[in-house]
Amino acid sequence: MSRVAAVQMASGPNVSANLIEAGRLITRAVRDHAAKLVVLPENFAIMGLTEQDKVKIREQDGQGPIQDFLANQAAKHGIWLVGGTIPLAAQADNKVRAACLLLDNRGRRVVRYDKMHMFDVHISETRENYAESQTIEAGEVIVVVDTPFGKLGLAVCYDLRFPELFRAMLAQGMEVLAVPSAFTAVTGMAHWEILTRARAVENLCYVVAAAQGGYHANGRETHGDSMIVDPWGLVLDRLPRGSGVVSADIEQARLRAIRRNFPAIEHQRLRCSLPEAK
């Protein structure tokens, strides 16, 4: 049995301030919740006033203050850390990769996942327009990796709407799913809990969903409701709004029992796969 935690934030345009807040919440997750795996939300280091702000602070893969922060936090607390997403250099000069890094308890990078699905939508209720593909270069491969908590899959926010991605992860043995996110207030109210619990139920896995939750300097409002869901779809802990931490235990024995007694995975008639991480 392992304790995991999801951090919820309302990040702004000041990277230093965001890192201080993230560090404070990581400390709380370790000190008050005894977490051994901590998941940060999408865009934890910057929610810019414009979409170009993240391009301006993008880092080269393997070096930069945000990556140093993640490594230092993981090593300092002796935890595994899912670093939300950070802007890393892309092939195009005017774009970034929304990279989700996993670091081990010694601060060493284990794997990197680049957000695969771009949030290019119009929300009629609030007249909000989003076009992530204008500043973010999409990833191409899925990631599932061995950890002390089980086989961990990584996905980001809008990825939640594409169940074939998680079936492909399941084919690689996924048992725990980490989902850093920043759902809008409107889409989150309508779909966040449904999608998060559905991914847990249909794949009989734990889901650790860390969200942005609150009002941001750029005028955007995010839904929040960070939660941890077990393989039966039970919400173990959640935080509706504001900055904070949710935590729960990952119980491998419970996961195995559910998969044994309710063998829906074995009953699949159709199989799908996507490219694996190289």
108 is a domain residue: yes
Q: Return mean pLDDT, the chain.
A: 95
Cβ atoms of residues 135 and 94 within 8 Å:
yes
The residue ranges of the chain whose pLDDT is under 50 are: 277-278
Q: Is residue 239 part of a domain?
A: yes
Q: Confirm if 156 and 211 have CB atoms less than 8 A apart.
A: no
Q: Give the pLDDT of residue 124.
A: 81
Rounded Cα–Cα distance for residues 2 and 53 (Å): 37
The pTM is what?
Answer: 0.95
Q: Let me know: does 14 contact 47? Beta carbons within 8 Å.
A: no
What range does the domain containing 37 cover? 2-261
Q: Let me know if residue 80 belongs to a domain.
A: yes
Q: Is residue 56 part of a domain?
A: yes
Task: Supply the CATH number for residue 252's domain.
Answer: 3.60.110.10
pLDDT, residue 278, reads 45
The pLDDT tens digits of the residues spanning 97-120 come to 999 999 999 999 999 999 999 999
* Contact between residue 250 and residue 4 where contact means Cβ atoms under 8 Å apart: yes
In a domain, 83, yes or no: yes
Residue positions annotated with a catalytic role:
42, 115, 157
275 in a structural domain = no
Residue 170 lies in a domain: yes
Distance CA 89, CA 58 (A): 6
Is 274 domain-assigned? Answer: no
Number of domains in the chain: 1
